[in-house]
Every structure is written in C-alpha cells, then in structure tokens.
Homo-oligomer: A and B are copies of this chain.
C-alpha cells in the first residue's frame, strides 16, 4: 500500500533516509540453501557507490553492507534477509538552507503536500540513496538466477544526451561494460560521453540519457497474462527508479511507425528449438517470455540538482534564487546501470520462482 515493497514471491521492502541511521531492506521469500555472503552483495554496491570515478559525485561513502539475518553458516535459511548499510557521510548542516525551499523538479514540494512534513536533509527518503537497498537485493536475485538457471542480465549506457552508441546486444558482456568509466561498451561513444559529462560538470549543469538492459537465457513461459505481463512489471520496476521518464520493450515507440507485416516476428525452428527471426517483441509476447532476448530501453532525465542558478519558491510562496553547492552527479546513468540490473533481477526472479508452482502442478 505505502509503496516501499516490490515483488510477491521474492519480496523486498526498503527503508531509510539519506541522513537517518541506515538504509537497507528486508528480502522475504528468498529460497533456502543458497550460498551467500556480504561480498556477493558488496561488489554491486561498489558499482553504485558515489565517488567511484572522476565523472560521478565526489562524495565518499563506502556503503558497506551487513547481513543481519537469514543466513546461517554461509547459506540462506529461507527466513528474511535483512541487509543494512549504515549512513556515514551525513553532513546534515549542509542542508539547513534548503529547509523551506522547494527545489525545481525534486520531490520537496510533493512530499510536503502529501505528508505535511519532510526530512529536507539531502532529499530524505526521496534521495537516490534509497536505491542502494535495491542494488543489494538485486545482487541476491542475480546470484540466485545465475546459479540456478543461467539467466543473465546486462545493462549499459546506450545514449547520453545526443551521443548514441552502437552495441551488439548478442555479444556484449558485463566485462565490456565495466571497462568504460561511463558504462558504455562502445569505446568511441564512451569517450565522447565522458567528455560531455565532464563539460557539464564544469558548467554546473547536468545531462540525461538512455540505459539499455537485456536479459538472456530466460526460458519461454515466464510471466503472467493480463495485468502482470512480464513487460508491464518490468516497466513498473524501471519507472520506479528516480529520474526515469520512459520505458520501451522491443520495438517500443519505433514500433508505432511500422506496419503489421513489418513488425510481426515470424516463428522458425533452429536445431529443433523454436525461435523468432526478428525480435520486435523484445522477448515477450502476450506478457509471457518466448525465450528470445528480453530487450528494454529506459530514459533518464538530466539530474535535477545543478550548480547553475535557478528560480524557485520557498514554503511561503516567495520567489527565490537557488544554486546547489553540494557534490552531485552531472549524469546519473553510470551509477544507475547496477540499479537497472537490480530491478530487472528482482522482477524476473519473482516470475521464475512463481513458475515452479504451475509447471509442477
């Protein structure tokens, strides 16, 4: 109801504000007997961590995860996993001047209207710091999917502003992605993106872009028809990430420009396996996976926090001028890659576990 839970079988509930005691989550419904340690989770947190490279925010937070429950002698027990990261770099006084200000395109005004009260320090609950809990849960989901089913998720930065990369989605690996500071595996585009982001930071401005996410080795038959189509839940998951403004599956918006005879994916058999010759469906038909690569694109707006001076209002309705002084990301996309992967993993594992009910009935 109150929106802090995602999933039905593998259910995660996150908590925490950026300047409270800690940020973390409970995973309820994690299967028993899975080998799991803090290091399995930490490696993805490190990919999301502030200060990891020259083009992200320079805040220093180690974001060290603690597993408080649900693991015994190195294995999950089937009881809730509580994963916690303590807040350390919380300079509350930096935010005193924002106490009565509604920053443009932030959640300050809407939280105030909804709750009548808000923790103004660093955005409180609306801070993207909340996403570290998703990345922690996603790391667990990814490990289970990889260990038990071979399902593999790769996300990368496809576009920053008008710089568009060319990436072969059949062959791209996470290693290719991690080789780029901006997490774009097209080397030439990557360099242009880094240059643009650096310019934006120097100009006190910010920039948006597109992350592409593919899921390989999904068996045919995952998903639920009608409201809980796999595509609908993936869209739901991605649109819940801060700064996301659009979602496409397969042909997406460009599919609207095609005719049926162009767009339809003909079935074929290869080595006795059913395949489609094209993949405009993006791996999902009627809301259920067909075994092809699941292929999504997610649009991110430019970061709302910028150093450039902007007009806005305060709680009394008075117009004021604002220019951010803190350390911020000129482009959220490099750090958002593991968040996208996490949301994909959390969504897909739910269906993967759920399908066991019906395939054995």
Contacts and interface: CB of A to CB of B under 8 A. Distances in A.
Q: Interface majority SS on A: helix, strand, loop or mixed? A: mixed
A76 B126 CA distance: 15
B208 A255 contact: yes
A230 to B, nearest CB: 9
Q: How many copies does the complex hold?
A: 4
A319 B268 CA distance: 7
Interface in A48-99: 66-72, 75, 77-82, 84
A217 interface: no
Contacts of A170: none
Nearest to A249: B245
Interface residues of A, number: 154
Contacts of A198: none
Interface in A238-265: 239-240, 242, 244-253, 255-265
A274 interface: yes
A225 B68 contact: no
A292 to B, nearest CB: 11
Contacts of A255: 208, 245-246, 299-302
A286 interface: yes
Interface string A194-234: 00000010000111111000000001111111111101110
A287 B32 CA distance: 17
A110 interface: yes
A190 interface: no
A3 B229 contact: yes
A188 interface: no
A26 interface: yes
Given A105-B263, A253-B299, A358-B115, A79 B225 contact: yes
Interface stretch (A39-47, A177-185, A277-285, A334-342): A277-285
Contacts of A251: 245, 301
Contact of A205 (B20, B113, B260): B260
A192 interface: no
A325 interface: no
A357 B260 contact: no
Interface in A278-321: 280-282, 284-291, 299-306, 308, 310-313, 317, 319
Contacts of A258: 161, 207-208, 301-302
B28 A2 contact: yes
A188 to B, nearest CB: 19
Given A3-B225, A267-B312, 7 more contacts: A32-B358, A33-B116, A148-B361, A205-B261, A248-B253, A256-B301, A354-B357
14 contacts: A1-B29, A2-B224, A4-B79, A32-B115, A33-B117, A159-B256, A208-B258, A232-B237, A245-B248, A253-B299, A256-B301, A260-B302, A263-B302, A357-B357
